[in-house]
Amino acid sequence: MPVVNLLNNLLTTININDIKDLLNIFPLSELDLSYNDISELPPELAQLQNLSKLYLSHNDIGEKQQSLVREWLPNCNLFLE
């Protein structure tokens, strides 16, 4: 399955809808958003049910957002550090 690496791109947000058509064709297994400036993740992230690994280290993801991501993607390994 495809892996998307958006590591160290100074992103402040991610819009799943921008890549939704692509995700329907190639379900992601891993998404690396480490080393960006993301503080909030969109609820659309829950659409990535095939995601097995989500890398969020070195962002400003608070505990509330971490809990939401764990709810949205219960089978995904979340890497925060």
Low-confidence ranges of the chain (pLDDT < 50): none
Q: What is the pTM assigned to this prediction?
A: 0.80
Q: What is the pLDDT of residue 12?
A: 74
CA 22 to chain centre: 15
Strand order in the sheet with 53-55: 3-5, 30-32, 53-55, 77-79
Q: Looking at domain 1-57, which of 1.10.287, 3.30.43, 3.30.160, 3.30.450 is its CATH number?
A: 3.30.160
Q: What is the pLDDT of residue 49?
A: 87
Q: What are the sequence ranges of the domains in the chain?
A: 1-57
For residue 56, what are the CA distances in angstroms to 3, 24, 25, 37?
Answer: 14, 23, 24, 10
Q: What is the pLDDT of residue 5?
A: 65
Q: Which residue has the tokens 């297994």?
A: 29
